[in-house]
Amino acid sequence: MNLLTALDALLEEGSVGGAARRLHLSEPAASRALGRIRTAIGDPILVRAGRQMVLTPRAQELRTEVHALVERARAVFTPPGPPDPGTLRRVFTVLADDVATALGPELLARVRGEAPGVSLRFLGEDPASDGSSQLRDGQADLDIGVVQDAPPEIVVEPLFTDRMAAVVRAGHPLTSGRLTPERYAAAAHVSASRRGKLTGPIDDALAELGLSRQVALAVPTFGAALIVVARTDLVGLMPALLGSRAVEALGLVALDPPIDLPSKEIAMAWHQRYEADGAHAWLRSQVRSTVATLTTA
């Protein structure tokens, strides 16, 4: 590549001195490069004609081809500019679980507004694996949610912190009077767990107070839990920000739990192979804008 670049400069300038200035080299260094080029090609390339140097017929033949090769090589090492969303044609697969309920409609509106040729495919995480393996294997472009113990090749960008809220139907007995740990524990609950777990951090917090609850039903997503809550007296638990619009749409009531619960750190993760991909970077910017709208509303 170095010899091609030097040859291109020599052919364009028609002199060792001119090539040296273009390449920011000394004339002896440019002269040595010419010597290596002559050996490699088997042609003198530049010969003296009176007080000037002229190109040989072989050099004249190579001039256009060599310049095109150098330009193509430079393009390989030049970072691509941002894509034109209007001409983008791509399907992005996003691991989102319940984030799809909260961010999906607005994210789709943003994406379609700028890039009508882009489609989004939201997938739930495989209970038998983690999101990192699906990112690593190329099954997904992004993972949005709680990202834990990501391997080094996965890039993780924190988005926001969400607190937990209890959710009940309008008119539920817990919506009147003071919500105490005892009243909360005495109610029947629905658990949202993609692995079907009936217990979680809330049970540990209740146990510290000498209390326990009954989980009458386990469903795989928060969205499914909200549908159940809307039609029963079961109490649900969900991230407050992520579920706020679904709660409003279903006419539910969000309550502050009467116990301390750990917050959820929501992040966006992707495999490092996409770090410099222009279209993927554009999608990440759309996610950030959508999250900013959600968290400042």
Tens digits of residue pLDDT in 159-172: 999 899 999 999 99
Per-residue pLDDT tens digits for 42-93: 999 999 888 888 999 999 999 899 998 988 888 787 767 778 999 999 999 9
pLDDT at 218 over 80: yes
Confidence of residue 293 (pLDDT cuts 50, 70, 90): confident
What does CATH list as the number for 2-76? 1.10.10.10
Mean pLDDT value across residues 134-138: 87
Distance CA 3, CA 23 (A): 11
> Can you give 69-138 as a three-state secondary structure string?
HHHHHHHHCCCCCCCCHHHCCEEEEEECCCHHHHHHHHHHHHHHHHCCCEEEEEECCCCCCCHHHHHHCC
- Residue 187 in tokens: 């109610």
Q: Check residue 137 and give its pLDDT.
A: 84
Do the domains at 91-159+265-296 and 164-262 have one common CATH topology? yes
Alpha-carbon distances, residue 183 vs 103, 175, 213, 257 (angstroms) = 33, 11, 10, 11
- Please determine, looking at this structure, whether the domain spanning 164-262 carries the CATH number 3.40.190.10: yes
By the 8 A CB rule, do 141 and 93 touch? yes
Distance CA 158, CA 147 (A): 9
Q: Check residue 83 and give its pLDDT.
A: 87
Mean pLDDT value across residues 116-121: 93
Q: Check residue 130 and give its pLDDT.
A: 63
- Residue 283 in tokens: 């999608």
By the 8 A CB rule, do 234 and 217 touch? yes
Q: Check residue 226 and give its pLDDT.
A: 93
Lowest-confidence region among 40-44, 117-121, 240-244, 277-281: 240-244
Distance CA 182, CA 163 (A): 21
* 91-159+265-296 CATH pick, 1.10.260.40, 3.30.930.10, 3.60.20.10, 3.40.190.10: 3.40.190.10
Q: Where are the domains of the chain?
A: 2-76, 91-159+265-296, 164-262
3-class DSSP state of 63:
helix
Confidence of residue 244 (pLDDT cuts 50, 70, 90): confident
Quote the mean pLDDT of the chain.
89
